Amino acid sequence: MTSSMVLIRDFCLNFLASEQYARTRIFFPDINEVEAAKVGIFEGTFFKLDYLTKPSGLEDIGFGEKVRVVDHLRPTDEMIVVAYPYFNVNEMLAVEELYTKGTAESKVPILVFNGELDRIRSGYYPPFFYPKLAALSKSLLPKFETVYYIHNFKGSRGGALFRAYPGPWKVFRRGSNGLVCIHEQETMPSLKEVALDILMRA
């Protein structure tokens, strides 16, 4: 995840005012990622580095006390950045906890990088086995504003779904001369709609 760490660091350094650095809390998926960031890419920065989950074998079998990620928040936090919460299903549930039990009332913004939200939207996780995660598609995900997005479609009628805030959602068709925009709309189309309808009609 080194390349993602670099992108997140560079984004924060370039888009936040320097006085915000110490008031920005960056959550990585787990404590090991935090340790790697501290001695590597984020070394020497003033950002508050934190973690969403702390895997524990004892917790898995019902012993020990569950770590509440919302307890990591501080009144001085002005921005929450969450780094790629998709490898473990508990990571996105921790993001929900940050919002519902922490920032929803305080209005502190949460910025999620590479959250793989399409997996939840598309039903990749069967609701029967992951009911809490499936519920996010109706509770938490609609509250997100997509700032930058790109999804590639392969095949003979390949292309891409793209958005750069505040612009519209665009579908590009891949051809011999590169990508050509063939469709625009204000709301995000489903990946199925793009693949089976919009790209097929072009």
Q: CA–CA distance from 182 to each of 55, 93, 195 (Å)?
A: 45, 36, 13
- Specify the residue for token string 């997140």: 8
Separate counts of helices (H) and strands (E) for the chain: 9, 8
On the question of pLDDT at 119 being above 90, the answer is no
Q: Which domain holds residue 156?
A: 148-201
For residues 82 and 161, state if they share a domain: no
For residues 51 and 118, state if they share a domain: yes
pTM: 0.86
Taking each helix axis from N to C terminus, what angle separates 89-98 and 131-139, rounded to the nearest 10 degrees?
A: 40
Structure confidence at residue 63 (pLDDT):
47
For residues 153 and 138, state if they share a domain: no
| Helix residue ranges, H only, 44-83 | 57-60
The values of phi and psi at residue 50, to 5°, are -145, 180
Structure confidence at residue 121 (pLDDT):
85
For residues 194 and 117, state if they share a domain: no
DSSP string, 170-199: EEEEEETTEEEEEEEESSPPPHHHIIIIIH
For residues 99 and 162, state if they share a domain: no
Dump pLDDT digits (tens) for 132-188. 988 998 899 999 999 999 999 998 889 999 999 999 999 999 988 889 999 999 999
From 115, 143, 171, the end of a domain falls on 143
For residues 54 and 134, state if they share a domain: yes
pLDDT bracket for residue 55 (50, 70, 90): low
For residues 93 and 176, state if they share a domain: no
pLDDT bracket for residue 62 (50, 70, 90): very low
